[in-house]
Amino acid sequence: MTKQTRASAAVARNENEIAHWERSTDVLIVGLGGAGVCAALEASRLGADVLVLERTAAGGGTTALSGGLIYCGGGTSVQKACGFEDSPEEMFKYLMAACGPGPDETKIRLYSENSVEHFDWLVAQGVPFRGTFHPESGTEPPTQDGLIFSGSENAYPFSEIAKPAARGHHPAKEGAAGGFFMQKLLAALHKTNVTVQCNASCQSLVIDRDGAVVGAIVRIDQKEIAIRARRGVILAAGGFVNNKEMLRRYAPELLRCRFRVGCEGDDGSGIRMGLGAGADAIRMHAGSISLPYYPPKQLKKGILINRQGQRFINEDVYYGRAGEYALLRQEGKAYLIVDDEIYAKPLGGMELVAVGETASEIETTLGLAPGSLQSTLDFYNTHAARGEDPLFHKGKTELKPLTQAPLGALDLTCEKAIYAVFTLGGLRTAIDGEVFNPDGRMIPGLYAAGRTTSGLCAQGYSSGLSIADATYFGRRAGMAAAKNDTKKS
């Protein structure tokens, strides 16, 4: 029926080439990760006949491989139980400052206003959360604690822009909870009459003569069939961090990072199918870039320096922000300078590559200009002793002079350290998942969610935002597709 290979996902097929629709459904969902499962739950709730295609043998997607943090706020029950005051407005202000440059204000506004409802919905689907706060930020709690700081809320300049509140919600499961989270959502899905077809690889979309999406070509058991979607197709097939050719083309800086956060399916097929049906893609160079130089949190008391021995950021920010600055602004060349008092091996495994009684010895070992690190340390230590950081405004609790010899340097260069990346660019969508074409018109019958789209984060990332975006806007896409009656059925 088709000569297209699996790698060729983009070009849409014309309806008049389809001799036979082997199956049909109201809503066809491509991908059973965090976005797909939520889309399916909501479309089904509204009475739609739903078929989910999953390329692997079981659902889960990258969400199941993740730490499972979900960024929620505005006053969730867990936030209240932990004693945090929050409001949609404060959440909005934080996200607008942290998700740029050029964040999607409409989506951020909407999610900030509806985040409590979304959190309650996740709970109603069976995802448990405890009302306990875990004080160590920057990674999923090793406990079942339900809340952590997962962004830069407490750090400059965000702490001055919006009232800080912890918003990283962690399902009641020790450590990485993404698998647990997806298990609960998939269990909820199994109670519906949604059909899940595993080992089914969507090859391309099918469009009618007006450009509306009316179905898809799907490979199941070595055979390609056409599946008709009466109300809409939802692309929820992940990002493209595992497609090197796409990274080279759109986001070459991410290609330098060896640790790619994604499942096999994050090969960009969803984005390419969208493009092939006339969609617009935006922010294709953007990525989340995590550089976990802490925990342990005492390492925030060190200083991050570049090849000039200069500091370049307040070290108490979310390490995803620090990673972005290190990779994109410092060519991925950075070190964390510590003294003996605070030294510890970071969980991220960065190597200690220089040890010395003086800054000068560190400079020599690292090949920094003589006096450069010394000058930086002199300035930093003088002010840190007074609890001040006039250059980058690191918080008082993380400030201490680095004076207890020996000093050490942890290697944070891109080729040596973990820079954990995934893509943030993708199809441009409206708030209900409708996919825009480059003219700004919506493509009838086409929806998308999760990392197949550009979502809440244009560029800057805080942990838990990708799952929040995928699940919340996945739900909206599911509802919108279920209600879409613009097409003849």
Contact residues for its own copies, defined by CB under 8 A: 7-11, 14, 100-102, 209, 211, 245, 248-250, 252-253, 255, 271-272, 275-276, 278, 280-286, 308-311, 328-329, 369-372, 375, 378-379, 390-392, 428, 437-441, 458
Minimal distance, residue 310 CB to its own copies, in Å? 5
Nearer to its own copies, 31 or 460 (CB): 460
Minimal distance, residue 464 CB to its own copies, in Å? 24
Torsion, CA 327, CA 237, CA 232, CA 273, rounded to 10: 70
Token output for 108: 């951020």
Minimal distance, residue 438 CB to its own copies, in Å? 4
Minimal distance, residue 391 CB to its own copies, in Å? 4
Minimal distance, residue 115 CB to its own copies, in Å? 24
Closest by CA to 325, choosing from 282, 373, 291, is 291
Cα–Cα dist 88/96, whole Å: 12
Nearer to its own copies, 144 or 308 (CB): 308
* Amino acid type, 10: A
List the Cα angle 455/461/466 in 5-degree steps: 45
Minimal distance, residue 184 CB to its own copies, in Å? 35
Minimal distance, residue 318 CB to its own copies, in Å? 18
* Amino acid type, 398: E
- Report the sign of the C-alpha dihedral through residues 9, 14, 17, 19, in that order: positive
Strand 50-53 with 259-260, pairing: unpaired
Cα–Cα dist 394/398, whole Å: 7
Nearer to its own copies, 102 or 349 (CB): 102
Residues linked to residue 53 through DSSP beta bridges, in sequence order: 30, 197
**Residues whose CB falls within 8 Å of the CB of residue 265, separated by 6 or more in sequence, listed in order:** 31, 33, 55, 56, 61, 62, 237, 238, 242
Nearer to its own copies, 66 or 372 (CB): 372
Nearer to its own copies, 102 or 387 (CB): 102
Nearer to its own copies, 129 or 240 (CB): 240
Closest by CA to 17, choosing from 31, 35, 3, is 3
Minimal distance, residue 155 CB to its own copies, in Å? 16
H or E element at residue 84: none
Nearer to its own copies, 47 or 438 (CB): 438
Can you give the C-alpha Rg of the chain in angstroms? 24
* Amino acid type, 404: Q
Give the other-Cβ count within 10 Å of 6's Cβ. 11
Nearer to its own copies, 159 or 308 (CB): 308
